[in-house]
Amino acid sequence: MLLLALGLPMVGSPFLALAGRRLGARVGWLALILPVMSTVLLGVLAMDRSLPARWGVELPWVPTLGLNLSFLVDGLSLMFGLVVSGMGCLVIFHAIFYLGTDYAHLGRFYSYLALFMGAMLGTVFADHVVLLFLFWELTGVTSFLLIGFLHGEEKSRVGARQALLVTGSTGLALFAGVMLLQRATGTSSLSVLLERGLPWGERGGELSLAMVLMLVGAFGKSAQFPFHFWLPNAMAAPTPVSAYLHSATMVKLGVFLVARMYPLFVVSPLWLPLLGTVGFTTMLLAAVLALVSHDLKSILAWSTISQLGFLIGQYGLGPVGGVGHDQLHLLNHVLYKGCLFMVAGVAMHATGLRDVREMGGLFRRLPLLGMAAVLAGGSMAGLPGTLGFLGKEAMLADLFQPLRDGASPWVLYAVGCAGVASVVKIAFSLRLVTGVFFGKEPDGVALQYHAPGLGMQLPALLLAAGSLLFGVWPGLLDGLFGQWAVEGLNRPKPLAVWHGWSVELFTSAGMVMMGVLLHEVGRRTGWRGWRIPGVLQADKAFEWLVERFQGWTKVWTRGLRADRPADHLPIVVTFVVMALGAGLLGLVPGLAERLWPEDVGMDPLRTGVAGLIAMTVVGVLVLRRWTAQLISLAVSGFLTCFYFVLYRAPDLALTQILVETVTLILVLLLLARFPNSAQVGEETRRPGRWTHYFHIGLSLATGCVATGLILVVTSAPHPEPLGARYLEQTVPLAKGSNAVNTLLVDFRGFDTLGEVTVLVVATLGCLGLLMRYKRTPEETRQGPLGPPGFGVEEQRED
Amino acid sequence: MNWPAAPVLLPLVTALITLFWGRPGMARRWVTAFSLLLQFAVGVGLVMSTYPGRVLVLGLGAWPAELGIVLVVDLMSAVMVTLTALVALVAQVYGFIEMRWAISHPLRIPLIQFLLAGIQLTFCTGDLFNLFVAFEMMLISSYALLTLEADDWDIKHAFPYVAVNLFGSALFICGCGLVYSLFGTLNFAGIARRTLEMERDGVVTLVSLLLLLVFGIKAGLFPLHLWLPNSYPTLPIPLLALFGGVLTKVGVYVIIRALGTVLPHDLGILHAWLGGFALVTAVVGGIGAISRPFIRGILSFHIVSQVGLMLLAVSFMTPLGLAAAVMILWHNLAVKSSLFLIGGTAALLNRSDDLSRMGGLWSRVPWLGVLFLVQALSLAGIPPLSGFWGKYMVVRAGLEAGEHLLVAGSIGVSVLTLFSMVKIWLATFWAEPDGVVVRVEDPRWRRMTGVVAVLAVVSLAMGLGAEGFSRIAIEAARGVLDQEGYVRAVEQFLGKTGGVTP
């Protein structure tokens, strides 16, 4: 049943893309089937009390590499799974009305969404840590596709790229982390780890590193400081996507991961400092940025980040046994933020405006939606009567508890950040609701308003109602939370609306007053001058970095001489000579003796030929014209034939002459066809005197190293060479008296076949060059692509 | 069993037939396609008969290994043969679609077959000098192909390719000489046996270093890679796919074969050296790819980066590390060549592969986009596509070997890959700049997309069916590392002298 719930969206996704073309906008209803089925299936699983608290399913996939489709079902995964699939239903329902028929390629849209949902479910239910990473990356990719759904706009593309680069690279940190974890513990199953605990004693260092890496992954996904900047830009996606991915589900994966890690890693001394600082810094920073933003979706995005910061931070504060209210906070956020996003979507759809300063007075036109917004906004601010009120009480209680126990600097920091952030949050909640729904209706709204359908509003109303219901009767949640409690992670406490006249209540009331005051200040100034200061615009900085990096890669690649063909061979030769020279000096014991062999035989004929060869080589260096250099070089090749003659191998000499001739012709042809003038814009430089000397030095060094190699190797003790065997066997086996001949045409005749082929091909190559193949006009029109533009690309003149 | 010779002889015969066919025409194309199909079938047959861990040996002229040349096909070679034939088939058919026969160059088909003969001989040979001959066949054909349809400007960029590789050949022949003088034989099995038996000093390491440099030039190891990134983009797209997909991988294959089967396993310094340079190669390739503004250039630089990753995995010299290298190698064969072909199709639609002049493909030709997305993400190592498994194994092998720095580097390179793939994706598929036309009415792109889909399916199968894929890779790596088994198999081939020489 679990597998069906997970697999359906994945398998169904491609069909949606295919069906999209035929069904048009109606494909949404088809898509709705998938999350509804998943929700029902998961709901049945969740209600089934006969199942143990933690159980798993395993399907073999890649057992060779120790990776199977193993899934883990416990309270945490069930809760997240239900949130994912339940929100999936609402969002797709909302999207059917929101997108309507205005957009092209709806099939693709729902296909991405379904795939995303499958990946999300896979992530939260994964038992194998690598499987978790696998689905984790898949959510990143689908999120990339969804953000860029309106890819005609530059903003969408930039946002998508930012999201992918940030979550992708932090995802790689997660990968490194889980691999280290796997290595350190010897198992990769989360359920086994949860049962056994971690071997902190023996492999503490590795585990700490793994923890930090995994947390980096979580921070990236949940848009925590310093990776916070990608989420507001991801709002370029259609609003249903923002509601689903970027507030309710995907960005909560970081929270999920932290919750998964909690029972394992909470004992680490790094846990509180890392989570506390990052989480609460994000909370404060994002809250402030939300207040000074004006774009409706940006406000929501920053507030989401702020709340995620708190969710992550509260795990940092948590005591070893388990935290009390994480489920409450999570559910609360899902309800009100999902609702607000959909409200914002409807409002934007109805008015065509995005800036909160230009909106207002919508309550009269959309009273139902207005009620939902008031409820959700109240929940975000933490006003009584909503679930948010309970959440805030719980938060304050959790913050004050460690403070009473004895304050560490981390806790003080957390309390400070959370306090200020809560005040700011009240202010921007107020602003959001009043700014859109109350006050005077600006002309722009009246001009563009068209009434949205009820279907579009329905999911938001449902969520708001949920928030109200649970806020008034929190007892409904107690049973659920108790059932979903995970050992070591949760210690749910009973919820109640009224806690008595406690410190928390007074603090809360004080915060509300200060928040209202702050909002009033803003309203009085007309929100002029309230904008994100340049220093904090990390997304701009990131884009700047990306641009600079691209520029830098060009400089760097050019610095490595990739675009100077003339330098390639010298660099390669220099490297080879240096490597071999270093090898000679470093690897060979007793180098000096080996380089001076005892007896050097001097044969006049051979010495003479060697001298001639040396002269031709010097000629190459001295001569100025390249044709003359080339011919001089070829002469040295021809002279080498004498050696073959001296060793009585006339056929080899013949081959050598042939090869030399062909090579000479080939190179001459190649060089003759070199374009004379350089390209437009290309750097031209004649090789200077020093280049010339360098080349001479390089040639000499090559010669020295080659000589050294030969001397060293021949001085090494070597086993009986096969040559002797050939001499013995040539008459009895091959029936020929010339060993070279039998070797070439019989023993190793296959080599000769190859070499003959080489000659044939070389001839064909020469033929190709000689044909001076030019494209006909038709080919140029049809044919490939014209010149590739290299680093110094300019248009060329043909 | 004469099958080990078939992968070499088939293309050779095809080359001769198509060369002397008389007039160019459609018939030549049918013959070529049929031959390539046959080569693929032979490859599959070889894989089936070598799995698991059997070694096929064929002495040419029925001479025993110590006198003649042996062809040795084990699982590793067999899979390489198969994948090469597949890539060649796809690239060739793509080329047929791209250009009508009347205007395609008459020499292209035979030269590709000669090239294939050389490549396949490299995979099948069991003899160092024969390997040199195979390299020569391969290189001379590639020179000829590189300059065949090039105009003057292309030739200028092709020149470093020829020059550097000629230098490499010269170095290789020196290496052959030194190996012979050191070991007294050129046969792989013979060398392996003698390294196992004889007392060694630094000279063996030195000669190994020389061979590694030679193969490093061919594979594109930093800083020997310089010839590659600028010369490849001058090729026509189908040839580019063949070169980019297969040719550099030949270098990697030979390094794997040499370090695993032929040379001794305890060349500690050399492996560390290889690992370091491989990491630098991967990074330099990744950065270079970002610096390029056109698809062919980006992908060409990526070849370098991927080669770095493979050699990084090789440098661990553990069975798992080698298996990881083998996996990346095979995955790359399929993915890299199909990316080139997809890029070519995109360029056909936009009439340019300059990123600033492309766009609008995702809304017009989604299937091409899906193919690109699958292959590009696979290249970047996004799970569960084929590239991920190689990366996963590299990381595992590296952690087991305790090479944390190399592991971190190999993970970091993925970011660079992802970056440049996203760059192509955004500019080509998502961007909708004014003035860019998508020529959907050109009928060729449909057929091209269909052809490329074959490779995409193969790479998807590698990713989703990772179980079979990894099992074959691990088995192949084990075979490569099993020096004694290799020597035994070769020595059991007695030939016509019956094992005794009178």
Kindly report, residue by residue over A443-472, the tens digit of the pLDDT: 777 777 777 778 888 888 888 888 888 888
Which is more confidently placed, A247 or A779?
A247
Residue position matching structure tokens 């990381």: B395
pLDDT for res B113: 92
Predicted confidence at residue B119, as pLDDT, reads 94
In terms of C-beta distances under 8 Å and separation of at least 24 residues, what long-range contacts does A626-633 make, across chains too? Answer: A626/A671, A627/A668, A630/A664, A630/A667, A630/A668, A630/A671, A631/A664
Q: CA Rg, chain B, in Å?
A: 22
Assessment of whether the complete model's pTM goes beyond 0.80: yes
Distance CA(B451)–CA(B447), nearest Å, equals: 6
**For residues A533-543, average pLDDT:** 79
| DSSP per residue, B261-308 | IIS-S--HHHHHHHHHHHHHHHHHHHHHHHH-SBHHHHHHHHHHHHHH
CB–CB of B294 and A788 under 8 A? yes
Q: Is B187 left (phi over 0), alpha (psi -120 to 50) or beta?
A: beta
Q: From chain A, pick out residues whose CB is under 8 angstroms from the CB of B227.
A: 568, 572
C-alpha count within 13 angstroms, C-beta hemisphere, residue A384: 9
Q: How far away is chain A from the Cα of B249, in angstroms, using its nearest Cα? A: 19
B101 touches chain A (CB under 8 A): no
Residues of A in contact with B163 (CB under 8 A): 568-569
Q: What distance in Å separates residue B321's CA from the closest CA in chain A?
A: 13
Residue A152 is encoded by which pair of tokens? 């005609």
**Taking CB atoms and an 8 Å cut-off, how many pairs form between chains A and B?**
341
**pLDDT tens column, B354-403:** 888 888 888 888 888 899 999 999 998 888 888 888 899 999 899 888 88
Range among A50-59, A267-276, A497-506, B195-204 with highest mean pLDDT value: A267-276
Which pLDDT score, from 0 to 100, does residue A683 have?
53
Q: How many CA atoms lie within 13 A of A383 on its CB side?
A: 19
Q: A757 vs B137: CB contact, 8 Å cut-off?
A: yes
Question: Which chain A residues are Cβ-neighbours of B164 within 8 angstroms?
Answer: 568-569, 572
Q: Does residue A367 have a cis bond before it (omega within 30 degrees)?
A: no
Q: What is the pLDDT of residues B429-474, one digit of tens each?
A: 888 888 788 888 888 888 888 999 998 999 899 888 888 888 888 9
pLDDT for A680 equals 45
What CA–CA distances, in Å, run from A283 to A278, A280, A425, B65, B443?
A: 9, 5, 10, 73, 56
Q: How far is B172 from chain A (nearest CA, A)?
A: 12
Radius of gyration of chain A (CA): 37
Q: Is the confidence at residue A546, as pLDDT, over 80? A: yes
Judge contact between A95 and A111, C-beta under 8 A.
Answer: no
CB contact under 8 A, A104 and B431: no
Sorted by sequence, the CB contacts under 8 Å of residue B262 that are 6+ apart come out as B128, B188, B191, B192, B195
The CA distance from A355 to the nearest CA of chain B, in Å, is 26
C-alpha dihedral sign at B34, B36, B37, B38: positive
What average pLDDT does this structure show over A83-93? Answer: 88
Note the pLDDT of residue A684: 56
Mutate to test the interface with A, among B111, B159, B191, B218 (most CBs of A within 10 A): B159
Instruction: With cut-offs at 50, 70 and 90, classify the pLDDT of residue B37.
Output: very high
Cβ B205–A583 below 8 Å, yes or no?
Answer: yes
Among candidates B133, B177, B407 on the partner chain, residue whose Cβ is nearest the Cβ of A754: B133
Asked if A675 lies within 8 A of B153 by C-beta distance, the reply is yes
Provide the shortest C-alpha distance from residue B148 to chain A (in Å): 5
Query: How many whole angstroms separate alpha carbon A567 and alpha carbon B226?
Result: 9
Q: What integer pLDDT is reported at residue A24 of this predicted model?
A: 73
Neighbours of A744 (CB within 10 A): 18
pLDDT over threshold 60, residue B38: yes
Nearest to A713 among B207, B351, B393 (CB): B207
Q: Tell me which residue has tokens 């749910």.
A: A492
The verdict on B176 touching A (C-beta cutoff 8 Å) is no
CB contact under 8 A, A164 and B418: yes
Q: B201–A755: do the CB atoms touch at under 8 Å? A: no
Compute the distance between CA of residue A322 and CA of residue A315 in angstroms, rounded to an integer. 9
CA closest to B206 among chain A residues:
A583
DSSP state letters, A540-592: HHHHHHHHHHHHHHHHHHHHTTTT-HHHHHHHHHHHHHHHHHHHHHHH-TTHH
- State the average pLDDT over residues B40-67: 86
**B66: closest chain A residue by CA:** A722
Between residues B6 and A621, the one the model is more confident about: B6
| Inter-chain residue contact B156 with A573, CB threshold 8 Å | no
Count of other CB atoms within 10 angstroms of residue A780:
12
* Backbone dihedral angles phi then psi of residue B97, each to the nearest 5 degrees: -70, -40
Q: Which residue has the higher pLDDT, A297 or A491?
A: A297
B contacts of A172 (beta carbons < 8 Å): 411-412, 414-415
Q: Tell me which residue in B137, B347, B408 faces A754 most closely, judged by beta carbons.
A: B137
Q: Looking at this protein, which amino acid is placed at residue B235?
A: L
Distance from CA of B310 to the nearest CA of A (A): 18
| β-strand partners of A189 | A128
A769 CB neighbours in chain B (<8 A) are: 147
The beta-carbon neighbor of B147 closest among A572, A709, A765 is: A765
Q: Which of A486-490, B243-247, B264-268 has the highest mean pLDDT?
A: B243-247
Subunit contact A130:B392, Cβ cutoff 8 A: yes
Asked if B245 and B91 count as a contact pair (C-beta separation under 8 A), the reply is yes
Task: Flag if A785 and B415 touch (Cβ within 8 Å).
Answer: no
Residue in B closest to A727 by C-alpha? B67
Residues of B (395-414) whose Cβ lies below 8 Å from A? 395-396, 399-400, 407-408, 411-412, 414
pLDDT band, residue A796 (cuts 50/70/90):
very low
Q: What pLDDT is attached to residue B131?
A: 92
Round to whole Å and give the CA distance between B112 and B106. 11
Flag if A778 and B422 touch (Cβ within 8 Å).
no
Specify the pLDDT at position A777. Answer: 54
Do A134 and B148 lie within an 8 Å CB cutoff? no
Token pair 């001499």: residue: A727
- What does the pLDDT look like over B180-195, one tens digit per residue? 888 888 888 888 888 8
Q: Nearest CA to A726 among B189, B173, B57, B180? A: B180
- For residue A152, the chain B residues in CB contact (below 8 A) are 430, 432
- With CB atoms and an 8 Å threshold, state whether A768 touches B147: yes
Contacts with A588 from chain B: Cβ below 8 Å: 201-203, 206
Question: What is the band of A507 on the pLDDT scale with cuts at 50, 70, 90?
Answer: confident
Q: What residues of chain B lie within 8 A of the CB of A104, using their CB?
A: 363
B393 in contact with chain A, both atoms CB, cutoff 8 A: yes
Higher pLDDT, B430 or A54: B430
The mean pLDDT value for A412-416 works out to 85
B positions 194-233 inside 8 Å of A (CB): 194, 198-199, 201-203, 205-207, 209-210, 213, 217, 223-224, 226-227, 229-230, 233
Average pLDDT of chain B to the nearest whole number: 87
Predicted pLDDT of residue B99: 80
**Nearest chain B Cα distance for residue A304, angstroms:** 27
What gap in Å lies between CA A6 and CA A35, rounded to an integer? Answer: 10
Instruction: Say whether B117 and A757 touch across the interface (CB within 8 A).
Output: yes
CB contact under 8 A, B133 and A751: yes
Mapping DSSP onto H, E and C, the string for A486-506 reads CCCCECCCCCCCCCCCCHHHH
**Phi, psi at residue A180, to the nearest 5°?**
-65, -40
Q: What is the pLDDT of residues A595-641, one digit of tens each?
A: 776 666 677 777 888 888 888 888 887 787 778 888 888 888 888 88
Using CB atoms, which residue from A562, A758, A761 is nearest to B226? Answer: A562
Residue B345's alpha-carbon distances to A782, B323, B422, in angstroms, are 12, 33, 18
Instruction: Tell me how far apart the alpha carbons of residues A75 and A71 are, in angstroms, rounded to a whole number.
Output: 13
Contact yes or no for A747 and B63 at CB 8 A = yes
Half-sphere exposure of A426 (CA within 13 A, CB side): 22
| Reported ipTM | 0.89
The identity of residue B284, as a single letter, is V
Q: According to the model, what pLDDT value does residue B81 have?
A: 93
B147–chain A Cβ distance below 8 A for any pair = yes
**B426 touching A (Cβ < 8 Å):** yes
A147-161, A614-628, B117-131, B364-378, range with the lowest pLDDT: A614-628
What's the CA gap between B178 and B185, in Å, rounded? Answer: 10
Question: What tokens does A259 get?
Answer: 């919750």
For chain B, positions 237-276, list CB contacts with chain A under 8 A: 237, 269
